[in-house]
Structure 1
Amino acid sequence: MAQLSDDCFAFGGPLLPVDDAMALLAARLGAVEGTEALSLVLSDGRVLAQDIVAPLPLPPFTNSAVDGYALRGTDLPSGAHKAFAVAGHVHAGAAATVAAAPGEAVRVFTGAPMPAGADTVFMQEDVDLDCEGRVILPPGLKRGANVRPVGEDVTAGQIVLQAGRRMRPQDVALAAALGLTQIEVRRRIRVAVFSTGNEIVAPGAQRGPTQLFDSNRFMLISMLARLGCEIADLGILGDDPGSTASVLKSAAATHDLVLTSGGVSTGDADHVKAAVQSVGTLVFWRMAIKPGRPVAMGVIGGTPFVGLPGNPVASYVTFVHVARPAILALSGTPPQTPVAVPLRAAFSYRKKAGRREYVRVSLRKAADGAIEAVKFPREGAGLLSSLVETDGLVELREETTSVDRGQTVTFLPYSSLV
């Protein structure tokens, strides 16, 4: 469990800029303690606890990159086709028992070790065989073509995967190619998550005429799962100050992060903010961001707390900019900037200076072939359909006050945000 001092986030301003919030989280939150040796086949999505150093080069021997014919570079045809006797063949996985003598070629297959003396391979598609069984090689090929030298990909002793990296399928493949069967990873971050409010009920429960089914908790659990967290679903907490404080304190004692949705605004029934203050320290609770201004960050018994807004779009956006950086820091992963793609705006928009706004957009190909960002036709932080029917967010920074049709804007695909 992360242990933080109650003042480690100290911030004096009433409305925290987005970049300041993300930098603060990255700087003040450190990786939780605890690692485990994990089978390589289970390592996708886990965070490396140690550098992986290559115990051998890749490839470990010089081999042919294609099916074809190997020969000495000094014998390459120049100006005209040339016939070569075929001295033998070498299959992948077999030893190269035949050598390429001057004026001879050796039949080789993809991955086969290069015959002694040979340093160039002609692709079988580019050659012909004559009636005497000789191979006819064309001129123009460069010496060394179609050969994979030893260590071309990775050299022995090279750091190939650094500690803090979240493993991907291609990373798993590289570790396997080096002969590894298990790796040391950080333990999963334990996150307690619950929704708040008398106005919501769990899907499948009896819904009153003025109640809504809880959607935020399921969205947040899904986002946490994609970040490799160990998740404790604490359900829905009603609007009661005493029980809210008690649950927060209990959850903080056994988890690395406490994440809530709703109850952090200024309404009479918004008790989460006050509950955090009663059992810990509230660091900030407003950000210069739209949607999602009422977002809280605090410390309860040394454990970080993040309280997201109740509106689903605001909850999604602030998860990306507060919860995600906190989780990356706690898991020992370096800060990650979402992929920003410049696109042409197919809309006009006006905003206030001093806050960052995120506009939901879909992508389309215009008549001239350019990709355009099309704004979702309706506003509102409560519209789940606006997240479902769009491809990502256009980020409008604090200094921006307007967007004109045809202007270049910054697009963040959803795939890069979680």
Structure 2
Amino acid sequence: MKTLAQIAAELQGYDPQAMTAEGVQHFLSQLVTPVQQTLELPLFEALGRVLAADVISPFDVPPHDNSAMDGYAFFGQELVPTEAASPAALNLQVVGTALAGKAWQGSVQPGQCVRIMTGAVMPAGLDTVVPQEFVQLQRSGDVETITIPPGILRTGDNRRLRGEDLMQGKSALQKGELLTPARLGLAASLGLKTLTTWRPLRVAYFSTGNEILSLGEAPREGAVYDSNRYTVFGLLSRLGCQVIDMGVVRDEPHLLEAAFTEAALQADAIITSGGVSVGEADYTKAMMKKLGDVAFWRIAMRPGRPMAVGRILPLKSAACASSTGASSYEKNSTSAGAVMFGLPGNPVAVMVTFLAFVRPALLQMMGAITEPLPLLKAHSSEAIRKKPGRTEYQRGRVSTAPDGALQVKTTGSQGSGVLRSMAEANGLIVLHHTQGNVAVGDEVDVLMFEGAV
């Protein structure tokens, strides 16, 4: 386990007072390690969890050639090539019906076909299906025939091949994949009742500050209601974390020490908001330093310049809290401790730093395969002022222009305390470190919110 100093020494150009967004992401990727405990979960309980082992297909999927359409199955070699001088319609006699769930047991001769339902096993030798809406059906007594117009099919059309989805012995799902509804369905198609997953990540969260009100408290001058707890709770819940809500902690040393200690004993990661800005008259930074290995950064970004990261070390004896006011806790050097993310206090800055930095780090801790969220390209419908030398995340709303192209505009005032601007946005306009002013019509990158916020 590397210390923060060791990680910093390996990061080229590391400057805690001038961190780039890319530098922060690289640092955090070296700081965190995945959980190791696994759970065997029924499929109905596995949604959002991370696979801890590859899933190998126990059989071919589909297990047999089958029809992709309701229609008629026949020998594809009977089709007249479309390049023939005078392509002709194909007339076939219907000799039976193949239903899904049971193989048809009859035999088929040239000039004959079998009515077949979607998913039904292809009768032996037959390799092509014509959709029922493409044919003309004639009846004469007990005899049914169909006529297939020329030039509408090729041999093998509308047949699903055995194993074309999954082949026996091949990987169906990979270790580290998040279990989405589609992946749960794929596991169910293999007859699996349970999946081996990493246990959910435990994340403790609390807000700091004497000016923070919990819901239900009476308003008072200079105080604000705590919105960050609810946005962070939502962000963590969307990610599948087990959230430990520790409420609001006032700027008093013994309360902060007790909160950090309790959080480190319970959680894999700790998130706080507030108390990390330069020159703030509170005790949060001092307590972070006392209880752990913590770095304080000024990031070249907007919003969200101040941030603290590191580890809070669990203590050997939680009983010390009641007898000594927690001041004589002994750090447990045998444990790596809980990873800590100290976020700014402004509501928008909390969400932006979470999306840009904390979310990828937590996914890595969850054992997930981590990939940067894809950036959407859209044309700016307004001019945006931007100085090179920092990464900016502007709240934006993406829509479709009359010509069908994607366009984006900001949601008004971009102050880091303007929470409405985030609620009205469906993505963040990402203006990169070296990027300058944006003119109307310029293409910009947008980090979409869907599935995260």
Superposed pair shares fold, TM > 0.5: yes
Q: TM-score if structure 2 supplies the norm length?
A: 0.88
- Partners in 2 of 1:125 and 1:335 — Cα distance? 46
2:320 paired residue number: none
Task: Read off the aligned partner of 1:136 and give its amino acid letter.
Answer: T
Task: Read off the aligned partner of 2:15 and give its amino acid letter.
Answer: G
2:269 paired residue number: 257
1:234 paired residue number: 246
- Partners in 2 of 1:240 and 1:211 — Cα distance? 17
Residues 102-251 of structure 1 correspond to what in structure 2 (within 5 A)?
102-132=110-140, 133-140=144-151, 141-251=153-263
Task: Read off the aligned partner of 2:78 and give its amino acid letter.
Answer: D
- Partners in 2 of 1:337 and 1:285 — Cα distance? 22
C-alpha offsets along residues 307-357 of structure 1, whole Å, 9 cap, x if unaligned? 111100100000112221221111011222112111111122222322111
How many Å apart are 1:271 and its aligned residue?
2.5
Q: Secondary structure at the match of 1:283?
A: strand
1:346 paired residue number: 381
Task: Read off the aligned partner of 1:388 and give its amino acid letter.
Answer: A
1:10 paired residue number: 8
2:334 paired residue number: none
| Higher mean C-alpha deviation, range 340-349 or range 45-54 | 340-349
2:283 paired residue number: 271
1:81 paired residue number: 89
Q: Secondary structure at the match of 2:139?
A: coil
1:399 paired residue number: 434
CA contact (8 A) 1:81 1:137 kept: yes
Change in CA separation of 1:25 and 1:411 when aligned onto 2, cut-off 3 Å? same
2:296 paired residue number: 284
Do structure 1's residue 66 and structure 2's residue 66 form an aligned pair?
A: no
- Partners in 2 of 1:379 and 1:71 — Cα distance? 65
CA contact (8 A) 1:99 1:106 kept: no
- Partners in 2 of 1:406 and 1:134 — Cα distance? 60
C-alpha offsets along residues 281-308 of structure 1, whole Å, 9 cap, x if unaligned? 2123322111000111011112211011
Structure 1 unmatched runs, 5+? none
CA contact (8 A) 2:127 2:156 kept: yes
Q: Secondary structure at the match of 2:205?
A: strand
| Higher mean C-alpha deviation, range 176-185 or range 340-349 | 340-349
How many Å apart are 1:77 and its aligned residue?
4.3
CA contact (8 A) 1:89 1:98 kept: no
- Partners in 2 of 1:322 and 1:184 — Cα distance? 28
Q: Secondary structure at the match of 1:404?
A: coil
1:295 to 278, 283, 307: 307
CA contact (8 A) 1:129 1:136 kept: yes
Change in CA separation of 1:131 and 1:33 when aligned onto 2, cut-off 3 Å? closer
Change in CA separation of 1:241 and 1:8 when aligned onto 2, cut-off 3 Å? farther
- Partners in 2 of 1:338 and 1:179 — Cα distance? 32
Task: Read off the aligned partner of 2:53 and give its amino acid letter.
Answer: Q
Aligned residues: 416
How many Å apart are 1:170 and its aligned residue?
0.3
Do structure 1's residue 40 and structure 2's residue 51 form an aligned pair?
A: no
- Partners in 2 of 1:8 and 1:181 — Cα distance? 44
Change in CA separation of 1:6 and 1:13 when aligned onto 2, cut-off 3 Å? closer
CA contact (8 A) 1:189 1:229 kept: yes
- Partners in 2 of 1:112 and 1:233 — Cα distance? 52
Q: Secondary structure at the match of 1:317?
A: helix
| Higher mean C-alpha deviation, range 177-186 or range 366-375 | 366-375
How many Å apart are 1:6 and its aligned residue?
5.5
How many Å apart are 1:7 and its aligned residue?
4.1
Q: Secondary structure at the match of 1:130?
A: strand
Change in CA separation of 1:142 and 1:368 when aligned onto 2, cut-off 3 Å? closer
- Partners in 2 of 1:249 and 1:377 — Cα distance? 41
Do structure 1's residue 306 and structure 2's residue 338 form an aligned pair?
A: no
1:54 paired residue number: 57
Task: Read off the aligned partner of 2:91 and give its amino acid letter.
Answer: A
Change in CA separation of 1:81 and 1:268 when aligned onto 2, cut-off 3 Å? closer
Task: Read off the aligned partner of 1:34 and give its amino acid letter.
Answer: Q
Change in CA separation of 1:43 and 1:414 when aligned onto 2, cut-off 3 Å? same
- Partners in 2 of 1:256 and 1:32 — Cα distance? 8
- Partners in 1 of 2:280 and 2:50 — Cα distance? 42
How many Å apart are 1:99 and its aligned residue?
2.0
- Partners in 2 of 1:43 and 1:139 — Cα distance? 50
| Higher mean C-alpha deviation, range 180-189 or range 62-71 | 62-71
Q: Secondary structure at the match of 1:349?
A: coil
2:318 paired residue number: none
2:396 paired residue number: 361
- Partners in 2 of 1:365 and 1:119 — Cα distance? 44
CA contact (8 A) 1:10 1:283 kept: no
CA contact (8 A) 1:4 1:304 kept: no
- Partners in 2 of 1:106 and 1:339 — Cα distance? 47
- Partners in 2 of 1:202 and 1:253 — Cα distance? 24
| Higher mean C-alpha deviation, range 356-365 or range 241-250 | 241-250
Structure 2 unmatched runs, 5+? 82-86, 314-336
C-alpha offsets along residues 189-214 of structure 1, whole Å, 9 cap, x if unaligned? 11110001111111122222321111
